[in-house]
Structure 1
Amino acid sequence: MARAIMLQGTGSDVGKTVVVAGLCRAALRRGLKVRPFKPQNMSNNAAVADLPGEAGGGEIGRGQWLQALACGVPASVHMNPVLLKPQTDIGSQVIVQGKVFGEARARDYQALKAKLMAAVMDSWTKIGEGADLVVVEGAGSPAEINLRANDIANMGFATRVDVPVVLVGDIDRGGVIASIVGTHAILPDEDRAMIAGYIVNKFRGDVSLFDDGLTAITRFTGWRSFGVVPWLKAAARLPAEDSVTLERLADGERRALKVAVPMLPRIANFDDLDPLKAEPAVEVVFVPPGKPLPADAGLVVIPGSKSTIGDLLAFREYGWERDLEAHRARGGAVVGICGGFQMLGRTVRDPDGIEGRVREAKGLGLLDVETVMEPEKTVRNVTAHSTIFQTPLSGYEIHMGRTTGPDCARPAAIVDGVADGAVSADGKVFGTYLHGLFGADAFRARFLAGLGVSGAGSDHRAAVEAALDEIAEELERHLDCEALFSLAR
């Protein structure tokens, strides 16, 4: 079994995913065969594993896909054996080793976790084969002791496999001393003994100004500091995994083209917008509930959704349907991706109640198509071709449902030889099931040129790789990486 180290956080969104990705890239640059692992993740930003056969064709968290990229290896479903995709406020779809396992309410899932540990351990064994180092990411916080029974995400896993833990705290949100010291105070002795030290993340300014803070934390806990990580500007160029980041994306900076993206309650795979955000002349604004779609937007993108009918009803409730109609009356363009594509049609029907109690909803009516939800889920990586701009595309599909209708006679793309999506008669509206289409540089350049943006289409994948290298270099400068890697056992 490979040597391993685990990063857990004092809470959610403290930057664990980015720090793990950076450490993975730093280890790779040292010549190590390194792999990421996250026993349990909760995110509607999913990716499709790259590996063929047993480990391919399945869903994993977008963060583990990014970490695999940082390791220089194809993504495997075993890097994230349990993925929870929230569908309602109290329940989630459960993905186990890439495949749909079922659905569970939060209370029921607590009992289910004990059964899922076998899958976690099976994946853990597979990921360690042939690796020099595995960098494990926890979920949430080990201080949530009310969830400690049957835990598979944090200390339940760490104690089971005897992997040393480093605690990550976020100084940007405030109270980092209390959060780290409080975690030490509240943990049971067995769990506390697993923690070898801590990292303070997201420091703005001169990190030496926190020297007294480090002294205080170590005095209270006895844990060593592995360093203080500055605010990593390059992290903004990486795909975001959790929807908690969307609040920070709600305010944009004025540029040549404004792109409005409604923040649906069950928004999924919103990292589809990352290549647009990276374009200097494009301003991507995520619009929260209660705010209108901006009247000066040249493009509205309706993103993916884990609950199409529920989010369609919310879209109408928030008043965005009126805003969208006004946008179209001004000649604005609209793109719908996956669930967003389904919403653009005339009707969405769910005869088997796959998504919930509502079996049918009127669509937004911008495309002459209708969607019927079906139990079988399509999960695959694909190669494609844009019929609109005659450029190559690549990406992935994760969706339920079949969409048909007159506008499908004008497909948006040819995916693995099959027509996909639909385009309106005037060409201003199109929908597709293809996630990742904006990552195709030639397509993005042609698409944005049609909206008045010239000079777009830089190499987005190269920019992500460069960001990972930059983050690895920053971690090498500010953390004792030698000690961190030596800690692994």
Structure 2
Amino acid sequence: MAAIMIQGCGSDVGKSLLVAGLCRLFANRGLVVRPFKPQNMSNNAAVTPDGGEIGRSTALQALACRTPPTVDMNPVLLKPQSDIGAQLIVRGRRQGVMQASAHGRDKRELLQIAVESFRQLQSEAQLVVVEGAGSPAETNLRTHDIANMGFAHAADVPVVLVGDIDRGHVIASLVGAHAVLDDMDRARIRGFIINKFRGDARLFDDGLQTIESRTGWQRLGVVPWLHEAGALPAEDAMQLDQSLAASSGTSPGRRVRIAIPRLPHIANFDDFDPLRTEPDVELMFVPPGKPLPLDASLIILPGSKATIADLEFFRSQGWDIDLLAHVRRGGRVLGICAGYQMLGHEVSDPERIEGHQASARGLGLLDITTTMTGNKQLRAITGVDTATGSPIAGYEMHLGVSTGPATSRPFIRFANGATDGALSPDGLIGGCHIHGLFHTPTFRAAFLSLLGATSNNEDYSYRVERSLDAVAASLEQALDVDRIASIAKLTL
């Protein structure tokens, strides 16, 4: 079956978005398409219908293909939880921790798993669009690579290399990659794409000629800066930082300010994307070194891949003092997943699952305690928000069990009658383990009304769908689609 792999000259060159756009482009042409990423490293993850987890970007690409996500689409996922280690997820299930030092070790078993998953997708699709990770030019990682050329050779997939012109030195990036790759890897690359171009692409014709003459790779197009991608979830926190820098400052005329501390191991921050589109809401992620704003109507403690470490970081920034001052003024607080656990009296990790520290004192705003266990909860849920009675839909993705008197006032009641989360007696402080709450329009509208804001009642999923179609349309114009199909051995 046809397949093509999109690799990049580095991280954040736009591989994930290009793969999503190509998936939607070919799906719109009536093809059965599947996305695939052999190995990903991200704390933004999604739950699959069969109760596994994969990278959020791959789940978005599945949506672009108009198919449910499966664990075979991203068989190896690394979720960083410290500077030296990451949680290892294999075919959707937690397999322990991989230390940073292990990245240079033999990964033949993981490569075999990746190839098996890829073959499964090939058996059900007319085209598989594969995404690499980082850059194949990181030759120090080549020996045990399973994310780029190691996989491409094992699965016999042709490669297209992407360069990001927005960050500069794109000619050097592509020509330099050609220079450092060995002959086999160099021959695996069949063409290149220039991404994130601003202005008239014809001005780069000489640059394209230089790259072609020095590499022998064929040009496949110059992709403009895709403003229409703004509604799509970011892949990692680096993109979050960039978006925050671009949108810093106040938003006059908005009724409420919602502040979220930017934790080092923040996870699943796309939970809050729908709030960005609300006309009455100014959403701000507070960077380290800055206080939580005095005039916030709501402070949200987000999910985290390292609950205790981020709780200690929260205190080191003085944010615990800011949060207590906010509560004394009658402000609302919402904790999501790890953020909910931080609101209790204590978080304990006796098995050192998330790090070296066995326990940490919580913020003491909810009468609960949390104990980390090796059993990871992964499932989609439906239910109601007990504070407003609004229906909700979302998913659980967490370690740890939270218990205590406050859970007798649950935040969420599931459709099967079970409950999750807790509320303070006055209802101003609450939390739960459920991700995706604000993607449910009814909940978002009801919750914002508690803050004095009026929701636009938009179903955010429609905005995402429109963005995917717009990106696909832009790629139709910018890329030589017939040549890409030929490289993939696809008959249109």
Q: TM-score, normalised by structure 1?
A: 0.96
Q: Against the structure 1 CA distance between its residues 252 and 34, is the aligned structure 2 distance closer, same or farther, given a 3 Å change threshold?
A: farther
- Map 1:62-81; keep pairs closer than 5 Å: 62-81=56-75
- Map 1:363-382; keep pairs closer than 5 Å: 363-382=362-381
Q: 2:228 aligned with 1:234, yes or no?
A: yes
For each residue in 1:349-404, what CA deviation from the matched residue of structure 2 results, as whole angstroms up to 9, or x when unmatched?
11222222211111111111111111211111112211112121111111111111
Identity %: 56
Contact 1:39/1:138 (<8 A) preserved: yes
For each residue in 1:430-488, what CA deviation from the matched residue of structure 2 results, as whole angstroms up to 9, or x when unmatched?
10100111100111011112212214320101111111001000110111112212210
Q: 2:436 aligned with 1:442, yes or no?
A: no
- Map 1:52-131; keep pairs closer than 5 Å: 56-131=50-125
User: Could you say which residue in structure 2 is the equivalent of 1:260?
Assistant: 259
Counterpart of 1:286 in 2: which secondary structure?
strand
Amino acid at match of 1:385: V
Distance 1:394 1:124 in 2: 30
Contact 1:371/1:402 (<8 A) preserved: yes
User: Could you say which residue in structure 2 is the equivalent of 1:163?
Assistant: 157
Distance 1:452 1:483 in 2: 54
Distance 1:273 1:424 in 2: 22
How far the C-alpha of 1:330 sits from its partner, in A, is 2.4
Runs of 4+ in 1 over 6 A off after TM superposition: none
How far the C-alpha of 1:253 sits from its partner, in A, is 4.9
Q: 2:327 aligned with 1:311, yes or no?
A: no
Distance 2:364 2:456 in 1: 31
Counterpart of 1:150 (choices 144, 156, 163) is: 144
For each residue in 1:284-309, what CA deviation from the matched residue of structure 2 results, as whole angstroms up to 9, or x when unmatched?
21122112112222211111111111
Q: 2:426 aligned with 1:432, yes or no?
A: no
Q: 2:399 aligned with 1:405, yes or no?
A: no
Distance 2:192 2:250 in 1: 35
Amino acid at match of 1:296: D
Q: 2:329 aligned with 1:330, yes or no?
A: yes
- Please identify, of 211-220 and 314-323, the stretch whose mean Cα deviation from structure 2 is larger: 211-220
- Please identify, of 119-128 and 3-12, the stretch whose mean Cα deviation from structure 2 is larger: 119-128
For each residue in 1:209-261, what CA deviation from the matched residue of structure 2 results, as whole angstroms up to 9, or x when unmatched?
22222122212212111111111112110011211112123325513322211
Q: TM-score, normalised by structure 2?
A: 0.96
- Please identify, of 158-167 and 213-222, the stretch whose mean Cα deviation from structure 2 is larger: 213-222
Counterpart of 2:470 in 1: which secondary structure?
helix
For each residue in 1:7-47, what CA deviation from the matched residue of structure 2 results, as whole angstroms up to 9, or x when unmatched?
00000011110110000000000000000000000001110
Distance 2:22 2:455 in 1: 34
Contact 1:444/1:456 (<8 A) preserved: no
Distance 2:453 2:161 in 1: 44
Distance 1:270 1:442 in 2: 20
- Please identify, of 390-399 and 40-49, the stretch whose mean Cα deviation from structure 2 is larger: 390-399
Amino acid at match of 2:466: A
Contact 2:444/2:455 (<8 A) preserved: no
Aligned length: 483
Amino acid at match of 1:447: F
Contact 2:54/2:92 (<8 A) preserved: yes
Counterpart of 1:185 in 2: which secondary structure?
helix
Amino acid at match of 1:381: A
Amino acid at match of 1:180: L
Ranges in structure 1 where 5+ consecutive residues have no aligned partner: 51-55
Distance 1:260 1:421 in 2: 21
Contact 1:448/1:456 (<8 A) preserved: no
How far the C-alpha of 1:206 sits from its partner, in A, is 2.0
How far the C-alpha of 1:112 sits from its partner, in A, is 4.6
Distance 2:281 2:478 in 1: 33
Distance 2:256 2:201 in 1: 37
- Please identify, of 36-45 and 220-229, the stretch whose mean Cα deviation from structure 2 is larger: 220-229
User: Could you say which residue in structure 2 is the equivalent of 1:288?
Assistant: 287
Distance 2:68 2:438 in 1: 21
Contact 2:82/2:355 (<8 A) preserved: no
Distance 1:143 1:461 in 2: 37
Contact 1:252/1:283 (<8 A) preserved: no
Q: Against the structure 1 CA distance between its residues 358 and 294, is the aligned structure 2 distance closer, same or farther, given a 3 Å change threshold?
A: same
How far the C-alpha of 1:129 sits from its partner, in A, is 1.3
Amino acid at match of 1:300: I
- Map 1:163-312; keep pairs closer than 5 Å: 163-250=157-244, 251=248, 253-254=250-251, 255-312=254-311
User: Could you say which residue in structure 2 is the equivalent of 1:48?
Assistant: 47
- Please identify, of 285-294 and 262-271, the stretch whose mean Cα deviation from structure 2 is larger: 285-294
Contact 2:6/2:15 (<8 A) preserved: yes
Counterpart of 2:457 in 1: which secondary structure?
coil
Q: 2:11 aligned with 1:12, yes or no?
A: yes
User: Could you say which residue in structure 2 is the equivalent of 1:477?
Assistant: 477
Ranges in structure 2 where 5+ consecutive residues have no aligned partner: none
